[in-house]
Every structure is written in C-alpha cells, then in structure tokens.
Amino acid sequence: MQELEVSLNERSYFIKIASGLLNDAGALLRGISRNNKVMLVSNPTVYSLYGQKALDSLEKAGFTVHVALMPDGEAYKNMDEALKILDEGFACGLERGSTVAALGGGVVGDLAGFAAAIYQRGIDFVQFPTTLLAQVDSSVGGKVAVNHPRGKNLIGAFHQPRLVVIDTDTLSTLEKRDYYSGLGEVFKYGIVNDESFFAYLEEQVEQIAARNKDCLAYIIYNSCRIKSEIVAADEKEEGWRAVLNLGHTFGHAIEQLTGYGSYRHGEAVAMGTMAAIYLAWDEGLLPEEEASRIKELYRKTGIPIVFPELNPEEVYQAMLNDKKVVNGRLRLILPAGIGAFTIRDDCSKEKILKAIAKAQSDCQAVKFGG
Ligand SMILES: NC(=O)c1ccc[n+]([C@@H]2O[C@H](COP(=O)([O-])OP(=O)(O)OC[C@H]3O[C@@H](n4cnc5c(N)ncnc54)[C@H](O)[C@@H]3O)[C@@H](O)[C@H]2O)c1
Ligand SMILES: [Zn+2]
C-alpha cells in the first residue's frame, strides 16, 4: 500500500492507495471515526459494481451503514439532490459524530462532501473514489460543491475529507471516455507543475492507453503527491492552488453551455487546456516547440477532444460567470513552459476569442481521439 499525507495541521489526513483496498475501507475508517454510523453515498452505476464490497467492509468493521443513492450524472450535481441526501441523513439518524462516505466519481464525491459540509454545520467525510479523475484529483483537497444553472460549482465549501481510500482495481470497469476524462486532469499536473512527470507521461503513452497497472499506480501516486503539496501550501486557493485550474475557466464555460451533459469534465478541461496553450503561445509565454509537445501528448494518448461548435463570444461570456473572475477581469492560468505557469488577468478579449477559435479549429483538424 502506498500512503501520502495531506498536511493541514489538525485537519491532516491520509490518502491510501492499493489494489483491492476497498476491502479494507471499513478497517481504515475504524481507526479515525468518532461513532459507528456511516451514510454511504453513491449512485446506482457504481453501487451495483462496488457497493456490496464497500458495505461488507464497513459492516465487518462494526459500522451501521445507511445507503443513500443519487442519480448518475453531472446534471444531478445540484442543490435538489444535495437536499435529498441531507433528508436521508436526518431520516437515518446521522449524528454530529457520524461519517458520510462517498463511493463514486467526482460527482458523487463533490455532492456527498457538500452535504457533509453543511449537515449540522459539518460532519466527518471520507472518500472512496472510483474514477481516475476522482483518484487523481477531486477526492483530495476538500473542495466540495454543487452546480447552479449560472455556472459550475458555484455553491460549495472547503471541507477536507478525513481519509481517502483509493482502490486502483475499480478503474478496470471504467468506460473509455471516463478514463480519458481523468487523464485530462493528470496531464495538467505535468504541464504546469512538474516537468519530469510530464516527461514520464510522454514516455508512457502506450502504457497509458493500455491502462497498464504499474503505470496507473505511478500516475495516481504522483498526481496525489503533487496535489497534496499544493493543497497543504494553499488550502483556500489564495495563490498557488489556482494552478490546478489550468483550462478550467474555458472548460467550465463549455460544460455550462452544453448543459452539463454532453461532455465529461476532463474532456472539457482538455479542450480548455488547448485554448490556454494557444493563448500562452500568443502571449509569448510558451515556445512553439513546447506547445507542440503538449499537443502531441494529447494526440498520442488519443484523448477525445472535439470542441463543440459554440460561438467563441458565447464561450467568453460564459467564462465571465466563472469564480475566477476578479473585479470583472478573467484570471487565467497559462503554461509558461512545461512545468511552469503564470496567472494573467490582462489578456485582451480579442486574444481570448482568438484562442477559443484556434482551439476549436485545431481540435477538429487534428482529430484528437479520432
Ligand atoms: N472537488 C474537486 O477538487 C474536483 C476536481 C476535479 C473535478 N471535480 C468534479 O468531478 C466531477 C467529474 O468527476 P468524474 O469524472 O469522476 O465523473 P462522474 O462522477 O460522473 O463519473 C463518471 C461516470 O463513471 C461512472 N463510474 C464511476 N466509477 C466507476 C467505475 N469504477 N466503473 C465504472 N463506472 C464508474 C459514474 O457512475 C459516471 O457515470 C465534476 O463534477 C467536476 O466538477 C471536482
Ligand atoms: Zn477539474
């Protein structure tokens, strides 16, 4: 088993990573829980695959478990569903010392975490992430949220989990699209934060496409390592943590304009990253050959990036609804060479529109993912 600590003083917690680890989830939770009641939040898809395993493990460790399911899909990461989960908590007698456990991808994790953050002013919360995206990103760092019709994750909180249990075996059942969506978040760590990790990804494109287990274990461990360091240094995103939003302001706009249903989050982020690369190149921050290396990584791994036919102006307007707007100006994370980044709030609207249009035409022309 591999282990990492997210150091946040009294809110520090461990991320445990291993094949088959869901069987030990109950025993691991036993070590830190304050009472024996757990509300296990999941969706029918994930629950049918891994629910019994999680339930057995928790019950074997002496927990009384209430299962609360939300419908599957980003479109359900909303206030109505959060209220239903809270209702279930009250109905099953969840107390202040009880725990909410999220079994699923980023959607279940974000919504269950949000419910835990506001239930009786906040109760314990643990993550059992089952998608690549959740294992490398969303289960770590305590950002929990639901969407609002006006934008992604506009209602939320910072509520750190008390434990993250990553069972890498769960990735074997993931649909291809969801696997690639997770890669969209993995690549950002290499692009803006860690050149040697980027080089590893370049070397391993074939193993990545083949979901090689050792390669995935390395990717998950290192993604969590990079994210943990960033979160420990800047929990509330007052500075460095913003780096994790590479491609996200563009991506969130695409998700919102397409009704949170057509694209996976990581796909939208990958499209957004393309736009960020063009903008960085246009601003003279990213040399041509490094921009090409990044595009090649996406192309070779076959991440499907087919930009929807949206009007760039419409995308730009939707971007202005994002949380990263400061004093009416868009704050964008741009790669400044591989492994480095800069935050810019002075890019002209004209250049941003150009970057969106260029990402759109190039993604069609190159046909990432075929
Ligand atoms: N909190 C954060 O810091 C953070 C970071 C990144 C992304 N996010 C959020 O994460 C969400 C996206 O998460 P996601 O990509 O995991 O999507 P998701 O949760 O919708 O999961 C994708 C699909 O895979 C299914 N699934 C989950 N695990 C499976 C498994 N092991 N086998 C087969 N199918 C499985 C799900 O039911 C779903 O249909 C977005 O809402 C995004 O905003 C949050
Ligand atoms: Zn993301």
CA distance 267 to 255: 9
Structure confidence by residue, pLDDT tens digits, 258-276? 887 788 899 999 999 999 9
pLDDT surpassing 70 at residue 283:
yes
Residue position matching structure tokens 């099953």: 92
Q: Which domain holds residue 294?
A: 182-366
pLDDT surpassing 80 at residue 291:
yes
**CATH number for the domain harbouring residue 147:** 3.40.50.1970
262 with 354, same domain: the answer is yes
265 with 289, same domain: the answer is yes
Of 107, 130, 249, 303, the residue with max ligand 1 atoms within 8 A of its CB, to mutate for a pocket test, comes to 107
191 with 255, same domain: the answer is yes
10 with 149, same domain: the answer is yes
Average pLDDT over residues 218-235: 97
**Residue finishing a domain among 117, 139, 173:** 173
pLDDT surpassing 80 at residue 322:
no
| pLDDT score recorded for residue 370 | 46
CA distance 287 to 284: 7
Least reliable range by pLDDT among 188-192, 217-221, 230-234, 359-363:
359-363
Atom of ligand 1 nearest to the CA of 45: 37
323 with 195, same domain: the answer is yes
197 with 154, same domain: the answer is no
114 with 262, same domain: the answer is no
223 CA from centroid of ligand 2 (Å): 13
Q: What total of structural domains would you count in the chain?
A: 2
Residue whose C-alpha is closest to residue 239's, from 161, 140, 341: 341
Q: Which ligand is nearest to the CA of 245?
A: 2
How many residues can be counted in the chain?
Answer: 370
Q: Determine if ligand 1 sits within 6 Å of the CB of residue 132.
A: no
| pLDDT score recorded for residue 301 | 87
103 with 202, same domain: the answer is no
One-letter amino acid for residue 168 of the chain: T
| 3-class SS of residue 342 | strand
CA distance 176 to 188: 19
pLDDT surpassing 50 at residue 51:
yes
CA 163 from chain centre, in angstroms, equals 17
Residue whose C-alpha is closest to residue 257's, from 303, 316, 211, 215: 316
Report yes or no: 324 and 154 within 8 Å, Cβ to Cβ: no
pLDDT surpassing 50 at residue 173:
yes
| pLDDT score recorded for residue 276 | 97
**Residue finishing a domain among 173, 200, 233:** 173
Beta bridge partners of 4: 15
**What is the pLDDT confidence band of residue 367, given thresholds at 50, 70 and 90?**
low
Residue nearest to atom 3 of ligand 1 (CA): 138
CA distance 325 to 142: 21
Tally of CB atoms within 10 A around 352: 22
Residue nearest to atom 34 of ligand 1 (CA): 174
**CATH number for the domain harbouring residue 266:** 1.20.1090.10
302 with 272, same domain: the answer is yes
Integer angstrom CA distances of residue 12 from 8, 139, 154: 4, 14, 26
237 with 129, same domain: the answer is no
pLDDT surpassing 80 at residue 368:
no
pLDDT higher for 90 or 151?
A: 90
105 CA from centroid of ligand 1 (Å): 3
**Residue finishing a domain among 173, 200, 226:** 173
165 with 314, same domain: the answer is no
State what percent of residues in the chain have pLDDT above 90: 86
State what percent of residues in the chain have pLDDT above 70: 98
Q: What is the pTM of this model?
A: 0.94
204 with 342, same domain: the answer is yes
Q: To the nearest whole number, what is the mean pLDDT of the chain? A: 94
